[in-house]
Amino acid sequence: MKEKIIAALEEIRPYLQRDGGDVEFVDYTDDCVVLVRLQGHCAGCPYSQMTVKNGIQEILCEQFPGEIAAVEAVM
């Protein structure tokens, strides 16, 4: 599953990079939570939580229904 998530994040990455940010895969937990680390401008952006929930989480949950419960950003 981790490899599939990393591949999906590679597709999302260009949209974040366009705004000076990036995303790094950290872990996929036993309770189906994807942990990511936002980088660049995304790391300090006041809208970063919206990017994680309304962007990354929505895309990953759509691609892997039932396999991802949530996406959370870590430092």
pLDDT tens digits, one per residue of 49-62: 999 999 999 999 99
Q: Over the stretch 30-56, which tens digit does the pLDDT of each residue have?
A: 999 999 999 999 988 899 999 999 999
Predicted TM-score (pTM) of the model is 0.91
What CATH number has the domain spanning 2-73?
Answer: 3.30.300.130
pLDDT of residue 7: 97
pLDDT of res. 27: 98
Question: What does the domain layout of the chain look like in residue ranges?
Answer: 2-73
Categorize the per-residue pLDDT at 21 as very low, low, confident or very high, splitting at 50, 70 and 90. Answer: very high
Question: Quick one: pLDDT at residue 31?
Answer: 97
Query: What's the token pair of residue 35?
Result: 């942990």
